[in-house]
Amino acid sequence: MIGIDIVKIDRISSTKAKFGDKFLSKFLCEEEINLAKSDASLAGFWAAKEAISKALGCGISAEFGFLDAEIYKSQKGAPMIKFSKEIVDKFRIKSSSLSITHDGGFAIAAVIIETYS
């Protein structure tokens, strides 16, 4: 299953400026907040979570919330996804891949999720 999302970095910047840490804690866990060094990174994480929800086929909903997956980095700095056990079991997730990029004022994320048949 494939999901992709794009978000304008300024949208994340202005929402963060308005709501601060309360906004960040709605879609990121503490480790993700510490990992994101810029608004471009925050926007990339937002796009990643939206792309995950699209790959799962449910969007951000009662079935999958922003905090049901955590973005972290591999030893080489590549973004990776850690799902909650409930989500792994519910969607029968076998593996996942994530790519995030930002340029020209936008952040884009693409996700591929492989499930058990």
Q: Mind listing the pLDDT tens digit for each residue in 7-43?
A: 999 999 999 999 999 999 999 999 999 999 999 999 9
Which pLDDT belongs to residue 117? Answer: 82
Would you say residue 50 has pLDDT above 90? yes
Banded model confidence at residue 59, pLDDT cuts 50, 70, 90 = very high
Calculate the alpha carbon distances from 108 to 3, 83, 86 in Å.
11, 20, 26
State which residues form the domain around 28.
2-115
Q: What CATH number should be reported for the domain holding residue 20? A: 3.90.470.20
Which pLDDT belongs to residue 57? Answer: 96
> Does the annotation list 50 as a binding residue?
yes
> Does the annotation list 5 as a binding residue?
yes
What are residue 80's DSSP bridge partners?
72
3-state secondary structure of 4: strand
Calculate the alpha carbon distances from 91 to 14, 61, 111 in Å.
34, 14, 15
Which pLDDT belongs to residue 101? Answer: 97
Q: Which amino acid is at 79?
A: P
Q: Mind listing the pLDDT tens digit for each residue in 62-114?
A: 999 999 999 999 999 999 999 999 999 999 999 999 999 999 999 999 999 99
Q: What is the pTM of this model?
A: 0.95
What domain count does the chain have? 1
Would you say residue 115 has pLDDT above 90? yes
